[in-house]
Structure 1
Amino acid sequence: MARAALHCAAWAERWFPDAYVFAVLGVVVVAVAALAFGATPQATVTAFGDGFWSLIPFTMQMVFVVIGGYVVATAPVVARLIEALARVPRSGRGAICFVALVSMLSSLLSWGFSLVFGGLLARALGRREDLDMDYRAAGAAAYLGLGAVWAMGLSSSAAQLQANPASMPPGLVEITGVLPFTKTILLWQSLLLTTVLILVSLAVCWWTAPRGESARRAREFTTVDASATPALPPRTRPGEWLEYSPLLTVLLSLLAFGWLAREFASKPAVSAIASLNTYNFLFLAVGLLLHWRPRSFLDAVTRAVPSTTGVLIQFPLYGGIAMMLTAAAGDGGQTLAHRLSSAFVQVASADTFAVVMGAYSAVLGFFVPSGGGKWIIEAPYVMQAANELKVHLGWAVQVYNAAEALPNLVNPFWMLPLLGVLGLKARDIVGFTFMQLLVHIPLVLGLLWLLGLTLPYEPPAMP
């Protein structure tokens, strides 16, 4: 199966277009469908144009999730922490499981941080000549945060969006209301599911890690001696003094942490961190302080920005898709979102909703590799269907979160930042992540169905 996965990855790298092409195809398909069901050309283009810029706040919030995670992960003090952590494992298989555990736990705080931190930890372990560690398996383990549990934590785009009505696209809040974290990622059912996924993923890492002559070392793929966090270049002119002095960092940190202290003192911690603005502000403030000198902080931000290209160029298209789904009315005044929700109601029941929605979301996730963007597309009709079938709305969000991570295990799109750190190609690690996928599919869908039976329906709570 691993050999078959490597062949599939090589085929995908050769024939699959960029994710932007899939986003544009999504726009075209939805526009054609709206016209086919009776929407006028004027209504269709108006909905697309009105929705194109509707997600600008959410787009920038997602950009700063990536930047904040990268800035913290590449701070000098964190680099020293990584070197200390790399001395902990005593065996190759133990090292791979250690990388997987660190990656998955850190992804619950920030998937952007998890990718970079996990990659740097795998590189540091790759420098240890005493470890019989397969570098490919370690790279796959570093990806498990994004490939297994990231959407079950604080960086879940769907949970964050549903908890922030100001960030939601027009029309969605009327369907779902506001869903605080206590109704989504902090449900005991969600915490249990996350724990099971972590434990099972670690077991798969242990049993699939090559050993002995089969293990391929890091030096076969990349030069791991070089640090992924370049040293700060020396100051060359007097005008750069403030860039290399901690003075501005100290003054700005006093303001930033003063505001954060007031925010967490005036609200419950769960409510405060549920705000995407507060969440991103916290990571930027910590990153600024850890880098200490403005020049180091700015260099880290510069290295992080290329990873945000997909979010910046694709999210406006997702906003246009969401508006065409919810605002371009066709025959009988029905929108595409209404028609799709009706189809869900006909296909699924209250008992089977989790399995049907989970399988559908996982398949769509391979073609629309964006947690937040794909939720914006799906939410209007799947949540309407959840209302009609009397399914717990918060659990519907968690069904999406758990299933949305499945295609990430074999989709090269989100691997790119990690692969850049590791010096690997997608084909090098996807054989191992494919083995995880084979185990996760029945496990995730089964637990989503079983745990969903324990949650009663609650009507939407309007802001």
Structure 2
Amino acid sequence: MIQKLGKKFTDIFQRFMPDAFVFALLLTLITAGLAMTWTEASTMKVIRSWYDGFWLLLEFGMQMVLLVVTGYSIALSPLVNRGIDTLAGKIRSPRQVYFLVVLLGSLFCLVSWGWMVVTAVLGRELALRIKGIHYPYLIACIYFSNLIWVCGLSSSIPLLLNTPGNFILEAGILSSTLPTADTLGSSLNLVMMGIILVTGPLLMHYLAPRSADVPTLKTMLGPESGQNTTPIREEARLLKLPYKAFSDLLNNSMIIQYVIALSGTVYLIHHFMTRGLDLNLNVMIFTFLILGLYLHGTPMRYVIAMKRASGNISGIVFQFPFYAGIMGIMIYTGLGEKLALWMASVASVDSVPFFAFLSGALVNFAIPSAGGEFAVIGPSILQAVQEIGAGLPEQQLNALISRAAMSVAYGESLTNLLQPFFLLVIIPVLGSGTKIQARDIMGYLVIPFLFFLLLQLALVSFWPL
């Protein structure tokens, strides 16, 4: 029955959910309409805010492009392919694949949410090797595995609150940083992490579609998919001139490649020795880049791998600015702050985590970035918590502030299951050579969304401070 319900939701999404770009355009109009009616911003004010916000995610967008192509290029190396072949030989059924990608993806995302790309690479390669994998559902499993990232080491909001001189401190809302022991190390977060790690893989294993007509990756690729099956090493050889040339010597020099890779390795060792486990996006991209240099051996082979990995990144390049425009409307018209102030007016000590969760969940549709979202609604929410909990002992007040901040993070992460923004990060890998769209995937995430919505709301509301 549950599988039939999942199929029904998928049919609904396929019928009514437009392309991810159209989704962004419609969300722009909805956000603009809310800004004009709720904040009484003029049409010109909204348009200016939209334009000013259009460029807010340029750095983030470029980071996403590099994350995708450097991560995907690693998978194109012979060594990694042999490793995936070995793993595929030990797996007996598609359901084991669904379970595995959710479990491994969750563990990867506890280190950094950007490691979802690694799961995407693994999932695609397993789909090419193992028969009977329902490919749209596999993509849904991979996307679902990112739910846990806010519990882990790259969680933006708790890391921000533990950063000296952050904008919350500069605004005078908090007098000191919040240690991650109170947020990521809280009993609530540890329980949340454990529940997702245990129930997530089992849930997606159980919800797997049972259908005789399975849309596999090989059938979706088809004969005209444009997939290049020529080995990278062979393509690099064919690009050489028919006679000895100095240019070919440079293009295929392992010495040049390994000197650069070694230099990058020296920097990474220095970075981690001096800063600890500071695995931010830039460091992760740089790590992928250096690893790719080692794995491909020569500049020409790496160029070919990067070219193949870059073939499907258009969604990130042109859709991210539109989401940034929505973010601009939320910030510059005061719509985000208005929502947070509304929460403050209806919340109490007992219900503030509940409303913080809902605020994070709703605003995520307009600002699908935890750090960007918290910059908009975080100050108002934390200020409201300070006012609501004014009579509490200091320790209990700090626990309530930490709970509210984590509630925003949980809500933001959960509604990613209904918001295709971060799907754009893995579709370049998983959708390459196919015509798959967000509407083919998102329906499979409705039941997991409802399950964890009830579970997380109960935990943030009733788990002891």
Q: TM class by shorter-chain length?
A: 0.7 to 0.9
Q: Cα gap change, 1:49/1:136 in structure 2, threshold over 3 Å: closer, same or farther?
A: closer
* CA displacement at 1:165 relative to structure 2: 6.8
The count of aligned residue pairs is: 435
Q: Cα gap change, 1:14/1:133 in structure 2, threshold over 3 Å: closer, same or farther?
A: closer
* CA displacement at 1:365 relative to structure 2: 2.9
Q: Distance in 1 between matches of 2:25 and 2:410?
A: 25
In the other structure, the counterpart of 2:204 is 205
In the other structure, the counterpart of 1:285 is 290
* CA displacement at 1:392 relative to structure 2: 4.1
In the alignment, structure 2 segments of 5+ residues that lack a partner are: 389-396
In the other structure, the counterpart of 1:458 is none
5 Å-filtered alignment, 1:282-361, equals 282-302=287-307, 303-304=309-310, 305-306=313-314, 308-309=316-317, 313-314=321-322, 317=325, 320-321=328-329, 324=332, 339-361=338-360
* CA displacement at 1:53 relative to structure 2: 6.0
Partner residue of 2:267 out of 237, 243, 259 = 259
Q: Cα gap change, 1:46/1:282 in structure 2, threshold over 3 Å: closer, same or farther?
A: same
In the other structure, the counterpart of 2:111 is 109
Which deviates more from structure 2 when the two are superposed, residues 59-68 or residues 377-386? 59-68
* CA displacement at 1:207 relative to structure 2: 1.9
In the other structure, the counterpart of 2:411 is 403
* CA displacement at 1:356 relative to structure 2: 1.7
Q: Cα gap change, 1:431/1:65 in structure 2, threshold over 3 Å: closer, same or farther?
A: same
TM-score when normalising by structure 1? 0.76
AA aligned opposite 1:18: V
Cα-to-partner distance string for 1:143-167 (whole Å, 9 max, x where unaligned): 2223x2233334444455555679x
Contact 1:89 / 1:98 at 8 angstroms: preserved in 2?
no
Q: Distance in 1 between matches of 2:226 and 2:48?
A: 52
Determine whether 1:138 maps to 2:151: no
Q: Cα gap change, 1:322/1:10 in structure 2, threshold over 3 Å: closer, same or farther?
A: closer
Q: Distance in 2 between matches of 1:104 and 1:351?
A: 30
In the other structure, the counterpart of 1:457 is none
* CA displacement at 1:193 relative to structure 2: 0.9
Determine whether 1:447 maps to 2:451: no
* CA displacement at 1:279 relative to structure 2: 4.1
AA aligned opposite 1:377: V
Cα-to-partner distance string for 1:210-253 (whole Å, 9 max, x where unaligned): 44736555444335999789732223344254343232332222
5 Å-filtered alignment, 1:417-436, equals 417-418=426-427, 419-421=430-432, 423=434, 424-436=436-448
Q: Cα gap change, 1:291/1:307 in structure 2, threshold over 3 Å: closer, same or farther?
A: farther
AA aligned opposite 1:411: Q
SS in 2 for 1:143: helix
Q: Cα gap change, 1:415/1:401 in structure 2, threshold over 3 Å: closer, same or farther?
A: same
In the other structure, the counterpart of 1:461 is none
Q: Cα gap change, 1:253/1:179 in structure 2, threshold over 3 Å: closer, same or farther?
A: farther
In the other structure, the counterpart of 2:192 is 193
AA aligned opposite 2:212: E
Q: Distance in 1 between matches of 2:33 and 2:372?
A: 16
AA aligned opposite 1:13: M
In the other structure, the counterpart of 2:379 is 380
Contact 1:86 / 1:124 at 8 angstroms: preserved in 2?
yes
SS in 2 for 1:88: coil
SS in 2 for 1:221: helix
Which deviates more from structure 2 when the two are superposed, residues 120-129 or residues 243-252? 120-129
Which deviates more from structure 2 when the two are superposed, residues 46-55 or residues 417-426? 46-55
Contact 2:344 / 2:384 at 8 angstroms: preserved in 1?
yes
Q: Distance in 1 between matches of 2:37 and 2:324?
A: 19
Contact 2:120 / 2:142 at 8 angstroms: preserved in 1?
yes
SS in 2 for 1:213: coil
Q: Distance in 2 between matches of 1:447 and 1:169?
A: 28
Contact 1:19 / 1:369 at 8 angstroms: preserved in 2?
no
Cα-to-partner distance string for 1:249-300 (whole Å, 9 max, x where unaligned): 3222222222222222223x24x33x55444433433343334333444455
Determine whether 1:81 maps to 2:83: yes
Cα-to-partner distance string for 1:410-438 (whole Å, 9 max, x where unaligned): 33443343351483443443343222222
Q: Distance in 1 between matches of 2:84 and 2:240?
A: 30
Contact 1:144 / 1:409 at 8 angstroms: preserved in 2?
yes
Determine whether 1:236 maps to 2:240: yes
AA aligned opposite 1:404: E
In the other structure, the counterpart of 1:330 is none
SS in 1 for 2:221: coil
5 Å-filtered alignment, 1:218-233, equals 218-223=217-222, 231-232=231-232, 233=235
Contact 2:341 / 2:381 at 8 angstroms: preserved in 1?
no
Cα-to-partner distance string for 1:175-216 (whole Å, 9 max, x where unaligned): 466556545444453233122112212221222224473655
In the other structure, the counterpart of 1:332 is none
In the alignment, structure 1 segments of 5+ residues that lack a partner are: 326-334, 455-463
Contact 2:336 / 2:376 at 8 angstroms: preserved in 1?
no
TM-score when normalising by structure 2? 0.75
